[in-house]
Amino acid sequence: MQIGIAPRLALVLAVFAVLASGLTGYYAYDTSRRLLVERAEKNLLTATQVLGQRLVVALGNAAKDARLLASQAGRESGGEEVLARAALALLQVHPEYFQVRLIDGRQHGLERLRLDRDGQRITRVQGLELQEKAHQLYVSQTLRLTPGQVYLSRIFINRETGAHAGFERPTLIVATPVPLADGVSHSGRLAVINIDLETLFRDMRMELPGDLKVYLTNEWGDFLIHPDPTQTFGFDQGRRVLLQDHFPDARPIVAGEMDSVVVSSGEGAQGGLVAAFHRVQPPDFASQRFFIMGLAEPLDYVLREARLLADNMWRIVLSFSFLALLLAWLVSRAVTRPLEQILLAVRRFAAGDSGGSAPLPVQRRDEVGLLARGMEDMQSQIRSQVEALEESRQAMAHLAHHDALTGLPNRVTFFDRLEHAMAQARRQGRKLAVLFLDLDHFKEVNDQYGHQVGDQLLQAVARRIQTGVRESDTAARLSGDEFVVLLNPVHNGEEARLVAEKLLQRFRELLELEELALPVQVSIGISLFPDHGVSAQALVDAADGAMYRSKNAGRDTCSMAEPASPPAA
């Protein structure tokens, strides 16, 4: 299959344009995607650090509150009502505290003062409902501290029945010993604040966008908060669900080698996440306990702007491609149209349709215009050459059918016309006549005045014969000084004889040549069709014979041919 320049050009242009816009779009998308992930990572890390700081501040406040309560208990020995009011105030101010207590380590850890959050209310637990807590680590561990130091528990699931709130909830305990008056030793009592981690985090995450996932692990990487609650406190059910298993890139932070890590999990079990983890170590406590805080955002969500961009990019790429196609078509048309015009002109020219030939775009000022002008020049050159050829061809044709000297039809033409006329006459049942003329004494003229005068004489004779017959008649020179005339039509021999007589009459006048006037006379023989022959040659021969009889009869006369043998059918 042949493909024209136009589609080829259009295709190349279009492919180029589509490629260019497509590649630009792809790289823009890729770059923006990378930038979005980087930005999300940075934002997440910042948010994680801020959230971690909030946890540090919240725990710091709890430590402060515990110290305050302990020092109050130390000062006002016996003034339980005052302490109860202070504990109540703490619970009212901090929705994340669900229990504030004063415990006496000397009586198996019996609770001396206990206020529980109970839904919207705050209940003071009294009498037999007060429990013994010496077997809880927070009691023994706190009593090992000196006043002012604060114990921070692990985060655990609270299984202590009897509390009004916080049962089965992730809990953190902050406790500090009650100081004696000397401020150095303690009384064996301790102030304890139970913090509900869920409430604490619910308040903290209020400020976060809703699609952020929050993670919290202990120092070993066990999940304590996880978007999927079944993944939390795995150790509580005899299995470990560890940060470092879910996010292998977060291992250094569990190992204590790094304070922060940013993780982009691929299309893993989490379905693609960008996550930041940060080590949070509350500074207000006796232990070196730390937590790992994490925030994650679905990659989908991070990339939704990129997707938006991709959608737009597609649209732009498509419309650019469409524009490019259109442009390519227009450009190719602009280039090929004048070429087509030229082609059309050439075709028409070639077809010889020179009259209505298509116009060439000669007015253009570019290469195409140049080409058109060249084509035009060539056309006119060809045209003039063709004309010259035609002229010479016509001259040749004239020469072939006419006598070169006199311009009269030659023998061939005469016989041709005679046969045509005979055929016609036969059909129509008409007659025609042939006059055979021979100059008298032409030889003497030739001898006397030379060939040039002879020739002038023949030309003059021809003119005289020509002007002496009708338009419809044909005069021709057969050879030398022999001329024939076809009279078509004639009604009878008499009519032919009259024409011959008339010719004889004309020849009786002097022939005016260039330098002299000469008397020339002719002898004429007449034959009639079909009377004297039914073939051209027979007719001419019959006229020739009649002409000889005229010569014999003394010249300057005309004779009718003898009746011939009966005409053929």
Partner 1 sequence: MGPMMRCLLLSFLLLLSGLVQAGEVLRVLAWPGYADADLVRQFEARHRVRVDVITVDSDDELWRRMRANEGRDIDVFAVNTAELQRYINEGIALALDPARIPRIQFQQPAFRDAAAIPGLTRGGRVYGVPYAHASMGLIYNRKLVSTPPDSINALWDPRYRGQVLAFDGSSHNFSLAAMALGKPPFKLAAGDWRPVLEKLIGLRRNVLTFYAQPEEAVELFRSNAVALVFANYGSQQVRALEDAGADIAYVIPREGALAWLDCWVINSASLRRKLAEAWIDFSLEAPMSRALTERHGLANTLDPDKGEPGGGLIWLQPVEDVERRTRLWEKIRAGDRLERF
Closest CB 99 distance from partner 1, rounded Å:
12
Closest CB 192 distance from partner 1, rounded Å:
12
Closest CB 227 distance from partner 1, rounded Å:
26
CB burial of residue 55 (10 Å; 0-12, 13-18, 19+): buried
Residue 353 binds partner 1 (CB under 8 A):
no
CB atoms within 10 A of CB 8: 11
Burial 72-110 (b: 16+ CB within 10 A, else e): bbbeeeeeeeebbebbeebbeebebbbbbbbbbbeeebe
Residue (of 294, 59, 53) closest to 172 by Cα position = 59
DSSP state of 563: P
Q: Which CA distances in Å does 150 have to 57, 108, 180, 195, 565?
A: 15, 21, 16, 14, 165
CB nearer to partner 1: pick between 96 and 111: 111
Distance spanning both ends of the chain, measured CA to CA: 67
CB nearer to partner 1: pick between 67 and 133: 133
Peptide bond into 566 cis (omega under 30): no
Closest CB 271 distance from partner 1, rounded Å:
28
Angle of helix 493-507 relative to helix 442-468, nearest 10 degrees? 120
CB nearer to partner 1: pick between 8 and 159: 159
CB nearer to partner 1: pick between 109 and 409: 109
- The answer to whether 78 and 340 are in contact (CB under 8 A) is no
97-116 residues in contact with partner 1 (CB under 8 A) are 108-109, 111
- Rounded Cα distance between 100 and 88, Å, is 8
Closest CB 238 distance from partner 1, rounded Å:
8
Give the 3-state secondary structure of residue 113.
Answer: strand
Q: Which CA distances in Å does 15 have to 18, 65, 281, 312, 327?
A: 5, 73, 60, 21, 12
Residue 118 binds partner 1 (CB under 8 A):
no
201-230 residues in contact with partner 1 (CB under 8 A) are none
Query: CA 125: distance to chain centroid?
Result: 80
CB nearer to partner 1: pick between 132 and 198: 132
Query: To which residue do tokens 């006796």 refer?
Result: 286
CB nearer to partner 1: pick between 129 and 390: 129
- Rounded Cα distance between 552 and 549, Å, is 5
Query: To which residue do tokens 């000022």 refer?
Result: 365
- For the window 225-264, what string marks contact with partner 1 as x by the rule CB under 8 A? ----------x--x--------------------------
CB nearer to partner 1: pick between 233 and 436: 233
Q: Considering the candidates 284, 403, 438, 481, report the single residue annotated as catalytic.
A: 481
Closest CB 137 distance from partner 1, rounded Å:
5
- Rounded Cα distance between 62 and 175, Å, is 9
Closest CB 101 distance from partner 1, rounded Å:
11
Q: How many CA atoms lie within 13 A of 286 on its CB side?
A: 19
User: In the annotation, is 481 catalytic?
Assistant: yes
126-165 residues in contact with partner 1 (CB under 8 A) are 128-129, 131-137, 140, 159-163
Closest CB 244 distance from partner 1, rounded Å:
16
CB nearer to partner 1: pick between 43 and 287: 287
**Beta partners for 186?**
179
Catalytic residues: 481
Q: Which residues bind partner 1 (CB under 8 A)?
A: 108-109, 111, 128-129, 131-137, 140, 159-163, 235, 238
